[in-house]
Structure 1
């Protein structure tokens, strides 16, 4: 019928020639607007009455609505013969429906054009975003700014408009037209100062125009405003943008001389031009980049850890459970340290993977389910997934639901991967099984078997990253078992592979292993210099879960390999980091604060289920023996009994407190010395 309607501004109707149609009084336009936002659905007369007269409808309200509709029909179809039914504004059951096509309403054309822009390459996207935004003539349903019936649609369409402005700017930046984006973005954030993405885009555009100082000033101004209006934490994206701009030296870097660098630059530029902004392909490509970035070194690992959280959040916001599952499950970066570098982040990722697996259900794609379960197992390392207080060391062992879930996830992932006969998937699942192999003390032989299977699998199927992981697992396990000759062979092969495949983080572990080996063969005094060197060399390796607090453990090696207590002054200047709860009772006992040490032993949580748990149980046992704390002493004995034949702490590849057997003998001696006093101590 050719009539075009307008919602993006005052309510309008135009004939095929573009001539405005006379819609009459405000009530007529209000009825038209209400029918338009119904999007082809019937609006009962009673609903129209309620919407038009929000307080108290007059007695003749129904008749008035029918009069308004009749007037609209005459205005919209002036050539319609008398008594012929309207084909545009139709009576349907208890109400009315406006039968307008998608092309007939400016709001719908805006949405359709925006959808095409979101799927277009950047250059084409800019033109489409311009076309979409050109439909706007003012605020949505501008004639009725306070009408309750209009509020939801006004808010929805305005949110889409603001997003379109930002996505247009994003596309401009992708085409290299940063200067063209600046003016529009300034107006945008001035009118809508709470739009964090708008501020980030403006700062990015300014930076790409060579105005870095102005870009940083813009971000600082925005952060102050957002923090004041929305509270702390509202400006996380701004902080990341500031860090990125400060660290970006690309504008000062020389032109790449290598052929590979040139290919990289040209390909990256072609990708930015060709792939639509915010397309799903960008999420998948980003996931692949982050996998590779994580193994490039300390800086890359830290960057990958930060950006991975943002990527997962973006995938979850997409509303597509399969897309989210694929993104979350794609990060199969080999992980060898069983204490999380970022416990909160690890727990968040484990929860995201668990949610994605639940949405897919047990009948979802088995390979995808196996990947998600592997993520749960890997990220639930140590106590990262704990959502309740960890049981105390002085208490009998108790079931811990979060640990049981992680263990079951690892088992199911391995089972699914074996059934699917997918080598890469099995390698990832075995990594999860390794992370959950520390559920109890004395698992070095089991970890050696896992490492051996992973190494063979990786060699047979050309998985170099997982070959390094398999050998690292074996290196640690062999140290725990005291087989240092076999450990040396693994260390040599790891160093060779790390050099060949550019895996610098692997050599962090071989450096620590060699310091441990020197200590094991020549004694703590001979290892003093090697340990000092490795502490300095690996301090900034990007793995705080590995390095933080480890200097205190190194200082304890000569003490724990003997029979006494440490000199508190020897550790006073050291950061005990995450190990403080388990070292504190020993340090208090050494300082003569027996009652405080006993209290600390009564409240300390059991050691984390990681590669240092045997070492920490030995530390607790030494403290408990010195202050006659029976419950912790007996619990330590029960836990360590499973590790007979291993070396306490050596399974970490970092330090060794000597044979577990020697520590058990000391525990038995202390328990025997208690006699009947032990029962009295149990109630302390």
Structure 2
């Protein structure tokens, strides 16, 4: 019902967009907390009265309780019409119950995430345990610490939280990240020194981090603490750990610990040995940025920022071959067709083109191919546009920047095939994918590209490009409506991401699974998944994908239906780059036909990217509403080649339903004009 409820901290409730709801006076919040801890069961009125008033209840207690319930209903379901029965806080027989779904209550979501973590492989489990623990805002029912009715459930949930902290540490150990576990375990045991499993984990983490002396010291301290708090004879598991440490020779430090130590020593040696202005530093930095970009959101953002400075430094040397090596070394796979920073991408594409021109057609073929692949990848969508975009209401016109990108991709692929360089060919094919959106309805040809990238990557052990190929196939199979085959690509992508530490791949598979739920179970089932995704992926380091995504999600039920949106549903959403195509639809929905028609006349044509079919469909809906003939005709012509696909589904994020349905609407609107 769009409301989230919380007991892992003070009693709280939030609207679907995260806005806190005012729950009123303490006694009123206590009623909500009491019903939440009943987990959907009916709590009789006399039981509620007894719990709320520990001593003798006042004469008007039942009436006061009914007032609290009525106020809570108004707060939790503000849009409920008068005299319509509440669907959330219900009257049932002798009492009241909260009929909230598991996705609506933080404690239940915590339990589900913990169960998912317990069943997951170690690397995935670390993330699941982290997500579970992130639900906690403080002690259970922090604003009612002495409520006797909450004691049992408070103790149960707190025990699960402590287990989750230790479960995450255990998963870190199992995935080779003992150093990361140490600090969390030390903080955990400072607060809960009686936790023997925590001590065992801490000792193990210290040992595997190469800190054997500290591990033995922690053992002695743990034995003293457990004897003092639990009595003599406690600590059997700790005793076994101590015996293992004392009797066994010092074991090898886990690879992560060795790597950290080697990294620190090597970095220090590099700084001592390589002159400050040596070109070797440019080469080394380029390789470091390429690897940094696939480590996660923070690494991607840092790599993107520093790459621009590195390219400028390489160009400033005046050596075109050096600049070509630096610019072309960043062959990080790109699966999303809207640049995270279009201005920056345009500058990089132009730098690559300048350097290729300086090398000339007779320059080293491998360097030329890499530069052309950079041009193709970075000029995705309209990032390299050097003139205003043509309008959607006008007939198609030649766009020089698009022709440059397409030709760069074609020549990069040709050169890479001739050179028989698998890594270079995979990079060039990535550029070809980015330039494969010249028309709507090209999912089948992009699927062939994705299949070639995947096969090439599997044969030559290129894990990052295998992830790319499978994401491309996931997107194209969504567009073509083959969800069973898309499932296989998503599962394999997740496996590769865990195996090769590519966390950003999970952003695409998570969005795909929300889309899939929408396709199979409908918008109502998918909506909470989408809301959770919007929150979880907002900081994924890919603004080209996430900016404006909330507006796209809000359009899903509109575009899968036949009507116009409620403008109020979009009033507080940031449509980001999609605003020019959303505005005409919202104006038409608000009854401002003249302004909608003007907005349609000035709207740019949708970008040549993964969402072009979706955005043409949005323009078509607005044009049909106000009878805008030029956009209706152009949208029909653009969408016609995609008749067998699903609008927007090629993004792997959202689907606006079959293009065929939007075309029928277009034809009907044209027949009426």
Fold match, TM over 0.5? yes
Q: Shift in Å at residue 314 of structure 1?
A: 0.3
1:404 aligned onto 2:410: no
Give the distance between the partners of 1:659 and 1:562, measured in 2 at CA.
Answer: 11
Structure 2 distance, partners of 1:537, 1:609, is 27
Which residue is equivalent to 1:151? none
* Structure 2 Cα separation of the partners of residues 430 and 319 of structure 1: 29
Could you tell me how far 1:276 is from its partner in structure 2?
Answer: 1.2
Q: Name the CA distance, whole Å, in 2 between partners of 1:527 and 1:299.
A: 28
Paired residue for 1:662? Answer: 661
Equivalent residues in 2 for 1:634-645, closer than 5 Å: 634-645=633-644
Distance 2:538 2:581 in 1: 22
Q: 2:381 is matched with which residue? A: 382
CA offsets 1:36-57 (integer angstroms, 9 cap, x no match):
xxxxxxxxxxxxxxxxxxxxxx
Q: Give distance in 2, aligned partners of 1:444 and 1:523.
A: 24
The CA distance in 2 between the partners of 1:416 and 1:362, in whole Å, is 11
Q: Give the structure 2 partner of residue 549 of structure 1.
A: 548
Matching residue of 2:241:
none
1:647 corresponds in structure 2 to: 646
The offset of 1:440, in angstroms, is 1.1
| Equivalence for 1:372 | 371
Indicate the residue corresponding to 1:322 in structure 2: 321
* Cα separation, 2, equivalents of 1:527 and 1:321: 51
Question: C-alpha displacement at 1:439, in angstroms?
Answer: 1.3
Q: CA–CA distance in 1 between the matches of 2:437 and 2:517? A: 26
- In structure 2, the partner of 1:580 is 579
Q: 2:58: which partner in 1? A: none
Larger CA Rg, structure 1 vs 2? 1
**2:536 is the counterpart of 1:537:** yes
Alignment of 1:65-144 (within 5 A): none
User: Please, which runs of 5 or more residues in structure 1 have no aligned partner?
Assistant: 1-251, 675-684
Q: Which residue of 2 aligns with 1:8?
A: none
Residue in 2 that maps onto 1:508: 507
- The answer to whether structure 1 residue 622 and structure 2 residue 631 are counterparts is no
Q: Distance in 2 between matches of 1:272 and 1:324?
A: 23
Structure 1: how far apart are the matches of 2:276 and 2:486?
Answer: 49
- How far 1:573 moved relative to its partner? 1.1
Aligned to 2:289: 290
Aligned residues: 423
Please state how far the C-alpha of 1:565 moved relative to its aligned partner: 0.2
1:533 shift after superposition:
1.2
Aligned partner of 1:91 in structure 2 is none
SS for the counterpart of 1:525 is: helix
Tell me, in whole angstroms, the C-alpha distance in 1 between the residues paired with 2:408 and 2:427.
12
Offset of residue 464 of structure 1: 0.5
CA deviation after TM superposition for structure 1 residue 583, in Å: 0.3
The normalised TM-score by structure 2 is: 0.62
Using the alignment, how far apart are the partners of 2:605 and 2:384 within structure 1? Answer: 15
Cα separation, 1, equivalents of 2:532 and 2:316: 46
1:270 aligns with 2:269: yes
Q: Secondary structure at 2:523's aligned position in 1?
A: coil
Deviations 1:110-156 (A, max 9, x none): xxxxxxxxxxxxxxxxxxxxxxxxxxxxxxxxxxxxxxxxxxxxxxx
Is 1:305 matched up with 2:304?
yes
The CA deviation at 1:537 is: 1.0
Q: Give secondary structure in 2 for the equivalent of 1:526.
A: helix
Q: Once the 2 structures are TM-superposed, how far is the Cα of residue 277 of structure 1 from its aligned partner? A: 1.0
Question: Aligned equivalents of 1:524 and 1:606: distance in 2?
Answer: 28
CA distance in structure 2 between the partners assigned to 1:383 and 1:326 by the alignment: 25
Pairwise CA distance, 1:394: 0.2
Task: Give the structure 2 partner of residue 426 of structure 1.
Answer: 425
Q: How does 1:329-340 map to 2 (within 5 A)?
A: 329-340=328-339
Deviation at 1:275, TM superposition (A): 1.0
Write the distance in 2 (CA, Å) between the matches of 1:362 and 1:589: 53
Find the counterpart in structure 1 of residue 443 from structure 2. Answer: 444
CA deviation after TM superposition for structure 1 residue 525, in Å: 1.1
User: C-alpha distance in 2, partners of 1:260/1:385?
Assistant: 40
Structure 2 counterpart of 1:353: 352
The DSSP-based 3-state class of the residue aligned with 1:527 is: helix
CA distance in 1, matches of 2:671, 2:637: 15
Q: Mapping of 1:26-65 within 5 angstroms?
A: none
The reply to whether residue 460 of structure 1 matches residue 459 of structure 2 is yes
How do 1:556-571 and structure 2 match up within 5 A?
556-571=555-570
CA–CA distance in structure 2, aligned partners of residues 618 and 454 of structure 1: 30
Q: Secondary structure at the match of 1:489?
A: helix
Partner residue in 2 for 1:177: none
Distance 2:379 2:445 in 1: 19
How far does the alpha carbon of each residue in 1:142-198 deviate from its partner, in whole angstroms, 9 at most, with x for none? xxxxxxxxxxxxxxxxxxxxxxxxxxxxxxxxxxxxxxxxxxxxxxxxxxxxxxxxx
Per the TM alignment, residue 576 of structure 1 is displaced from its structure 2 partner at its CA by 0.5
Equivalent residue for 1:487? Answer: 486
In 2: Cα distance, 1:340 partner to 1:332 partner: 15
Determine the C-alpha separation between the residues in 2 that align with 1:650 and 1:432: 21
Taking the aligned partners of 2:527 and 2:462, their CA distance within structure 1 comes to 37
Matches within 5 A, 1:140-159: none
Q: CA deviation at 1:534?
A: 1.1
| 1:594 paired residue number | 593
Distance in 2, matches of 1:604 and 1:517, equals: 31
C-alpha offsets along residues 606-633 of structure 1, whole Å, 9 cap, x if unaligned? 0011100000000000000000000000
In structure 2, how many angstroms separate the alpha carbons of the residues matched to 1:440 and 1:271? 50
TM-score, with length taken from structure 1: 0.61
CA-to-partner distance for each residue in 1:552-601, whole Å, 9 max, x for gaps? 11111111011100000111111111100000000000001100000000
Give the superposition deviation at 1:535: 1.0
Aligned counterparts of 1:392 and 1:623: Cα–Cα separation in 2: 15
Hey, what's the Cα distance between the residues in 2 that align with 1:602 and 1:307?
40
- Measure the CA separation in 1 of the matches of 2:485 and 2:558: 27
